[in-house]
Structure 1
């Protein structure tokens, strides 16, 4: 989920408030595919049983939002309010909610953790039978929504919809963050940092003294670089065709940078030549199936591990069986392998312990009214990851 550091979108609002009342507020609505988002006044219903209404304070624009807007061809996915990488404050809670109270700082979660299903109980996966990921993966939103606009139902993208001043989420899709955590930074835990950092720490399980390669230096890739560094890798190759991203990658721990355009041979061979046969770990963060293969084949035979993080369901990917038979492992990572509620808590502790540098992920500050400008910047690759929008004054 992601592609360059975030940009801020901020705006003030006039809204009707109250835990049992409908709130009218601003949101960026996607009415049609391949069309600009429209700033609308929407109605946000009060939370029902096991739900929480959240005042969104900051949110990021992630490449997965663009995927839904431009590449997802399912007409039933629209209209929707995009945004799944945010941070906010609990405004009110519905019946049955005991874990959260008004005033809590929280992170809406794009995947669920119910604690009761087969996957949650297994301890072996961060999949969950509840939520949109298991029930409507093609539509990428839940059938349940608390949004209406112009008399029409508007879906909540990935169950969150953080491009709105207020949103309503299920208690399975919300994590509490330490009261000391800065909301203008921890919004990154909603997607980019959790996904990339966790891919290195949890999914690849990078080991001290190892060699790593990270393909794609959007926010997810930058977070993967940081994860490799914190795991103790001695050599970290940051790979991207945009050299403007290299300085930030170095600031987060990359020891070497590679632009595939600078070579007349495959980048997998370049890495093999530089590492006596291949890297121990590679992490792919682009969603490009050709890059997935390159990252896999850049791994050393015998024990190399390659993790696919970048998302697409539009194309197949492949390599030759001999690459696997020789001892390489090819695996995928969803949301960094974190169980989401637990993962946010772990990342919050790491931030407060100064093990995470989130400053390098933020390159622009914009208003929600500029959301379409932000989308154009991301399409052109002119920042590193999610754009950061400040929805409410901090």
Structure 2
């Protein structure tokens, strides 16, 4: 392309400091270096994790920063040595890298990659500890090596995957985070069995994707739990058999679920990121064999307190990172399954806005009026 090797000026949403609404600015995006790819982002979703960045929940984030990790786009140019993609390819940035070389990537037991943002310093820079964004003469930091809140972004090879040329980017951007995270929590992590009973705490984009996963796995009873009743219709459309709101009961919701199911649910999923809800989800599980999967990400430093007998009796508590998928391997197939109508994720998108209205998109998320808002460049 004509822009290859040159600095590109484009629009991006910058969070200048924690607590401040993103500001749409003109930024300069440097060309990719060795092992890097520059991508023109076409569409990006707004995820709760991005809201956590906005609110300063993560102590290792440096500001100003360009957030965003749920996008899809087209390769503009590649740096020396890149072989996994070429200019013109449709791609999805990966919020969880897959380097293919570390101990975890070489193991079939985990999708964790030792180059991810939990290891050492947060991914505010590219792997070589430099950055590719500047605005008003100041450096602007990266987020998760994705930064999809920029019309152009630069990623390392470990954080990108090629998808079908026929994929609709304004739809499959959700495959960057929300859908595989929730769907995989049911399919990969919990391994939901046919005829089982499930409870999903939190019916946002990830929680509803759990619903899709539980239905696909053949669960006979899928109970959605949320304080926002406006989400119930969507949950039932996707497969929930019933929905309940904690404020409608005078007793703890875990006791309500126990009464509804007898000994508790077979599988409980926490897709909010609240310590109290995580404890409640565990207490809702079948006393002898229930499995509780933690998906939501609480503020940094949070501590979960449990009673050992809850686990000794047979319950299991586990976590789930991006649905347990090795994303480079899994996403092309998941996108193909979507295009073959194995599942319908389009219904998760409740709002579509031009990128310049990103502030409105965050407001829709914060007030619970949207499931997923997709921004278009």
Q: TM-score, normalised by structure 1?
A: 0.92
2:43 aligns to what? 58
| 2:111 maps to 1:132 | no
2-side partners of 1:186 and 1:74: how far apart? 30
Q: Is the 8 A contact 2:53 2:61 kept in 1?
A: no
1:119-155 CA distance string (max 9 Å, x none): 0001111111224332324x66654421111111111
Distance 1:244 1:76, change over 3 A: closer
1:189 aligns to what? 175
Correspondence list, 1:292-331, <5 A: 292-312=278-298, 313-331=300-318
Structure 2: give runs of 5+ residues left out of the alignment.
Answer: none
| 2:330 maps to 1:343 | yes
Query: Offset of 1:28 from its aligned partner?
Result: 0.5
Distance 1:141 1:208, change over 3 A: farther
1:221 aligns to what? 207
| 2:245 maps to 1:259 | yes
2-side partners of 1:246 and 1:88: how far apart? 32
2-side partners of 1:283 and 1:86: how far apart? 25
1:382 aligns to what? 369
**Structure number with higher relative contact order (C-alpha < 8 Å, ≥ 6 residues apart):** 1
Q: Is the 8 A contact 1:132 1:141 kept in 2?
A: no
Query: Offset of 1:291 from its aligned partner?
Result: 0.5
1-side partners of 2:330 and 2:131: how far apart? 25
1:9 aligns to what? none
1:12 aligns to what? none
SS at match of 1:291: helix
1:70-109 CA distance string (max 9 Å, x none): 1336485111111110000011111111110111110001
2-side partners of 1:184 and 1:200: how far apart? 25
2:275 aligns to what? 289
| 2:113 maps to 1:121 | no
Distance 1:73 1:238, change over 3 A: closer
2-side partners of 1:20 and 1:80: how far apart? 24
1:357 aligns to what? 344
1:29 aligns to what? 14
1:4 aligns to what? none
Q: Is the 8 A contact 1:108 1:174 kept in 2?
A: yes
Q: Is the 8 A contact 1:108 1:169 kept in 2?
A: yes
Does 340-349 or 195-204 show the bigger shift?
340-349
Distance 1:344 1:315, change over 3 A: same
2-side partners of 1:141 and 1:334: how far apart? 22
* RMSD between superposed Cα atoms in Å: 1.5
1-side partners of 2:2 and 2:348: how far apart? 33
Does 356-365 or 289-298 show the bigger shift?
356-365
Query: Offset of 1:346 from its aligned partner?
Result: 2.6
Match of 1:274 among 250, 260, 268: 260
2-side partners of 1:281 and 1:201: how far apart? 12
1-side partners of 2:145 and 2:260: how far apart? 44
